[in-house]
Amino acid sequence: TDNSLTLGIESSCDETSVAILRGGREILANVISTQIPIHQKFGGVVPEIASRKHIVNIMPVLDEALHKANVTLKDIDRIAVAYGPGLVGALLVGVSAAKTLAFALDKPLIGVNHLEGHIFANFLSTPELQPPFMALVVSGGHTSLVHVKDYNHFSLIGQTRDDAAGEAFDKVARVMGLPYPGGPQIDKLAKEGNPDAIDFPMALNEKGNYEFSFSGLKSAVLNYLNNMKAKHIEINKADVAASFQKSVVNILVHKAVEAARQTNMTKLVLAGGVAANSSLEGHLQKACKENGLEFYYPSKILCTDNAAMIACRGYYQAQAGDFADSNLNAIPYLEL
> Which residues sit at the interface with Zn ion, rule CB under 5 A?
139, 305
Total residues at interface with ligand KG4 (CB under 6 A): 19
The set of residues, in sequence order, having a beta carbon less than 8 Å from that of 193 and lying 6+ positions away, is: 236, 237, 238, 239, 240, 241, 242, 243
| Contact in structure between 185 and 179 (CB atoms under 8 Å) | yes
Angle, nearest 10°, between helix axes 278-290 and 182-190?
A: 70
Looking at 28, 45, 92, 276, which residue binds ligand KG4 (CB under 6 A)? 276
Q: Among 83, 169, 296, 297, which residue interacts with ligand KG4 (rule: CB under 6 A)?
A: 169
**Residues in 277-316 at the binding interface with ligand KG4, rule: CB under 6 A:** 277, 304-305
Q: Which of these segments, 18-26, 34-42, 72-80, 135-143, binds ligand KG4 (CB under 6 A)?
A: 135-143
* Radius of gyration for the chain, computed over Cα atoms and rounded to the nearest angstrom: 20
Among 5, 7, 9, 13, binds ligand KG4 (CB under 6 A): 13
111 near ligand KG4, rule: CB under 6 A: no
In the complex with ligand KG4, the residue whose CB is nearer, 239 or 305, is 305
Q: Which stretches of the chain are DSSP H helices? A: 36-40, 47-69, 88-105, 114-125, 165-175, 182-190, 215-230, 237-262, 278-290, 300-303, 307-319
Amino acid at 335: E
Cis peptide leading into residue 85 (ω within 30°): yes
31-60 residues near ligand KG4, rule: CB under 6 A: none
Instruction: Examine residue 94 and tell whether it contacts ligand KG4 (CB under 6 A).
Output: no
Q: Which is nearer to ligand KG4, 139 or 144 (CB)?
A: 139
193 lies in the site for ligand KG4, by CB under 6 A: no
Cβ–Cβ under 8 Å, residues 305 and 15: yes
The mark string for 207-246 relative to ligand KG4 (x by CB under 6 A, - otherwise) is ----------------------------------------
Q: Does 140 bind ligand KG4 (CB under 6 A)?
A: yes
Q: Which residues of 48-68 are buried (b: 16+ CB within 10 A; e: fewer)?
A: ebbbbbbbebbeebbeebbeb
**273 in contact with ligand KG4 (CB under 6 A):** yes
Q: Quote the distance between the C-alpha of residue 222 and its chain's center.
A: 25
Chosen from ligand KG4, Zn ion, none, partner binding at 24 (C-beta under 5 to 8 Å by type): none
Question: Cα separation of 1 and 15, whole Å?
Answer: 32
Q: Does 120 bind ligand KG4 (CB under 6 A)?
A: no
Is 183 a binding residue for ligand KG4 by CB under 6 A? The answer is yes
State the residues that interact with ligand KG4 by CB under 6 A.
Answer: 13, 139-141, 166, 169-170, 181-184, 187, 272-274, 276-277, 304-305
